[in-house]
Amino acid sequence: MILVSSCLLGNNVKYSGGNNLNELLAEYSRYLTPVCPEVLGGLMTPRQPAEIQGGDVQSVLAGQAKVMDKAGADVTSAFVKGAEAVLELVKDHKVRVAILKANSPSCGNKEIYDGSFSGKRVSGDGVTAALLAAHGVKVYSEEDINEDLLQRIIAMYM
Protein backbone atom coordinates (compact mmCIF):
# COMPACT_ATOMS: atom_id res chain seq x y z
CA MET A 1 0.00 0.00 0.00
CA ILE A 2 1.23 3.48 -0.92
CA LEU A 3 -0.32 6.33 1.06
CA VAL A 4 -0.94 9.72 -0.52
CA SER A 5 -2.37 12.98 0.83
CA SER A 6 -6.01 12.91 -0.20
CA CYS A 7 -6.01 16.53 -1.40
CA LEU A 8 -3.31 15.64 -3.98
CA LEU A 9 -5.80 13.32 -5.69
CA GLY A 10 -8.29 16.17 -6.04
CA ASN A 11 -10.43 15.42 -3.00
CA ASN A 12 -11.83 18.58 -1.44
CA VAL A 13 -10.41 18.08 2.06
CA LYS A 14 -8.10 21.09 2.20
CA TYR A 15 -8.78 23.69 4.92
CA SER A 16 -10.24 26.02 2.29
CA GLY A 17 -12.67 23.37 1.07
CA GLY A 18 -10.63 22.91 -2.10
CA ASN A 19 -7.86 20.52 -3.07
CA ASN A 20 -4.27 20.35 -4.30
CA LEU A 21 -4.81 18.20 -7.38
CA ASN A 22 -1.59 16.77 -8.75
CA GLU A 23 -2.28 15.43 -12.21
CA LEU A 24 0.54 12.90 -12.25
CA LEU A 25 -0.54 11.37 -8.94
CA ALA A 26 -4.19 11.41 -10.04
CA GLU A 27 -3.21 9.50 -13.17
CA TYR A 28 -1.75 6.74 -10.96
CA SER A 29 -4.49 6.94 -8.31
CA ARG A 30 -5.40 3.27 -8.70
CA TYR A 31 -2.11 2.42 -6.98
CA LEU A 32 -2.48 5.02 -4.21
CA THR A 33 -4.49 5.03 -0.97
CA PRO A 34 -5.67 8.54 -0.02
CA VAL A 35 -5.59 9.75 3.58
CA CYS A 36 -6.28 13.15 5.12
CA PRO A 37 -4.95 13.23 8.67
CA GLU A 38 -6.77 16.45 9.56
CA VAL A 39 -10.13 14.95 8.60
CA LEU A 40 -9.19 11.69 10.37
CA GLY A 41 -8.43 13.82 13.42
CA GLY A 42 -11.99 15.09 13.41
CA LEU A 43 -11.59 18.53 11.83
CA MET A 44 -14.30 19.90 9.56
CA THR A 45 -13.87 21.08 5.98
CA PRO A 46 -13.64 23.97 5.39
CA ARG A 47 -11.70 24.95 8.49
CA GLN A 48 -9.27 27.61 9.60
CA PRO A 49 -5.67 27.19 8.38
CA ALA A 50 -3.35 26.03 11.14
CA GLU A 51 0.39 26.21 11.82
CA ILE A 52 2.82 24.82 14.40
CA GLN A 53 3.75 27.41 17.03
CA GLY A 54 6.14 27.45 19.97
CA GLY A 55 8.54 24.80 18.79
CA ASP A 56 9.11 22.14 16.17
CA VAL A 57 7.09 19.04 15.40
CA GLN A 58 9.07 16.95 17.89
CA SER A 59 7.97 19.41 20.57
CA VAL A 60 4.36 19.03 19.40
CA LEU A 61 4.59 15.24 19.68
CA ALA A 62 6.17 15.62 23.12
CA GLY A 63 3.33 17.91 24.23
CA GLN A 64 5.58 20.97 24.46
CA ALA A 65 4.42 22.98 21.43
CA LYS A 66 1.05 23.46 19.79
CA VAL A 67 -0.76 23.54 16.49
CA MET A 68 -2.90 26.68 16.49
CA ASP A 69 -5.41 27.74 13.91
CA LYS A 70 -5.59 31.24 12.50
CA ALA A 71 -8.54 32.11 14.74
CA GLY A 72 -6.50 31.21 17.83
CA ALA A 73 -7.96 27.78 18.59
CA ASP A 74 -5.63 25.03 19.80
CA VAL A 75 -6.05 22.15 17.34
CA THR A 76 -3.06 20.13 18.55
CA SER A 77 -5.09 17.17 19.75
CA ALA A 78 -6.88 16.83 16.39
CA PHE A 79 -3.57 16.95 14.50
CA VAL A 80 -2.00 14.33 16.79
CA LYS A 81 -5.13 12.15 16.66
CA GLY A 82 -5.09 12.29 12.85
CA ALA A 83 -1.40 11.41 12.71
CA GLU A 84 -1.97 8.47 15.05
CA ALA A 85 -4.87 7.26 12.89
CA VAL A 86 -2.60 7.24 9.83
CA LEU A 87 0.08 5.46 11.85
CA GLU A 88 -2.44 2.74 12.74
CA LEU A 89 -3.07 2.26 9.03
CA VAL A 90 0.68 2.06 8.46
CA LYS A 91 1.05 -0.63 11.12
CA ASP A 92 -2.01 -2.61 10.01
CA HIS A 93 -0.93 -2.69 6.36
CA LYS A 94 2.85 -2.64 6.80
CA VAL A 95 3.08 0.58 4.77
CA ARG A 96 6.63 1.63 3.92
CA VAL A 97 6.12 4.71 1.74
CA ALA A 98 3.92 7.81 1.61
CA ILE A 99 3.64 10.76 -0.76
CA LEU A 100 2.45 13.72 1.28
CA LYS A 101 1.59 17.33 0.49
CA ALA A 102 4.52 19.71 0.82
CA ASN A 103 4.49 22.47 3.46
CA SER A 104 1.37 21.31 5.33
CA PRO A 105 1.44 21.32 9.16
CA SER A 106 0.22 17.70 8.93
CA CYS A 107 1.68 16.35 5.72
CA GLY A 108 4.69 18.57 4.98
CA ASN A 109 8.20 17.26 5.01
CA LYS A 110 11.45 19.24 4.97
CA GLU A 111 9.63 22.61 5.16
CA ILE A 112 6.49 23.92 6.88
CA TYR A 113 5.04 27.36 7.56
CA ASP A 114 6.67 29.14 10.47
CA GLY A 115 3.63 29.70 12.69
CA SER A 116 3.17 33.39 11.87
CA PHE A 117 0.53 32.89 9.13
CA SER A 118 2.64 35.18 6.95
CA GLY A 119 3.57 32.60 4.30
CA LYS A 120 7.14 32.25 5.63
CA ARG A 121 8.54 28.72 5.68
CA VAL A 122 11.10 27.08 7.93
CA SER A 123 12.83 23.71 7.95
CA GLY A 124 10.70 21.06 9.59
CA ASP A 125 8.02 18.42 9.13
CA GLY A 126 4.29 18.29 9.66
CA VAL A 127 2.88 16.17 12.48
CA THR A 128 1.85 13.15 10.38
CA ALA A 129 4.96 13.22 8.19
CA ALA A 130 7.19 13.27 11.28
CA LEU A 131 5.31 10.46 13.03
CA LEU A 132 5.41 8.23 9.95
CA ALA A 133 9.11 8.93 9.33
CA ALA A 134 9.84 8.09 12.98
CA HIS A 135 8.25 4.68 12.34
CA GLY A 136 10.34 3.91 9.30
CA VAL A 137 8.06 5.16 6.51
CA LYS A 138 9.86 6.79 3.59
CA VAL A 139 8.05 10.11 3.12
CA TYR A 140 8.14 11.95 -0.20
CA SER A 141 6.35 15.17 -1.10
CA GLU A 142 4.69 15.70 -4.45
CA GLU A 143 7.57 18.06 -5.22
CA ASP A 144 9.98 15.10 -5.09
CA ILE A 145 7.95 13.03 -7.53
CA ASN A 146 8.32 12.65 -11.28
CA GLU A 147 6.83 9.88 -13.39
CA ASP A 148 9.98 7.77 -13.41
CA LEU A 149 10.30 7.88 -9.61
CA LEU A 150 6.58 7.23 -9.15
CA GLN A 151 6.76 4.14 -11.36
CA ARG A 152 9.76 2.89 -9.38
CA ILE A 153 7.93 3.49 -6.08
CA ILE A 154 4.91 1.58 -7.37
CA ALA A 155 7.06 -1.30 -8.59
CA MET A 156 8.90 -1.44 -5.28
CA TYR A 157 6.07 -1.04 -2.78
CA MET A 158 2.90 -2.45 -4.36
Give the span between the Cα atoms of 107 and 6, in whole angstroms. 10
5 scored as a contact of ligand SF4 (CB under 6 A): yes
66 scored as a contact of ligand SF4 (CB under 6 A): no
Q: Which is nearer to ligand SF4, 133 or 155 (CB)?
A: 133
> Minimal distance in Å, beta carbon 58 to ligand SF4?
19
Of 61, 99, 53, 98, nearest to 80 (Cα)? 61
Query: Radius of gyration of the chain from Cα atoms?
Result: 15
Which stretch of DSSP H or E encloses residue 53? Answer: strand 50-53
Q: Which is nearer to ligand SF4, 65 or 126 (CB)?
A: 126
Q: Which is nearer to ligand SF4, 38 or 125 (CB)?
A: 38
Which phi and psi angles does 78 have, rounded to 5°? -65, -40
Give the span between the Cα atoms of 34 and 124, in whole angstroms. 23
State the binding string over 83-122 for ligand SF4 (x if CB under 6 A, else -): ------------------x--x-xx---------------
State the binding string over 6-25 for ligand SF4 (x if CB under 6 A, else -): xx-----xx-----------
User: In this structure, which long-range contacts are made by residues 26-31, counting pairs with CB atoms below 8 Å and at least 24 apart in sequence?
Assistant: 28/150, 28/154, 29/4, 31/2, 31/154, 31/158
Q: Which is nearer to ligand SF4, 131 or 152 (CB)?
A: 131
* Contact residue for ligand SF4 among 2, 32, 36, 139 (CB under 6 A): 36
Give the span between the Cα atoms of 37 and 155, in whole angstroms. 26
> Minimal distance in Å, beta carbon 23 to ligand SF4?
16
Kindly list the residues in this chain that would bind ligand SF4 in the complex (CB under 6 A).
5-7, 13-14, 36-38, 101, 104, 106-107
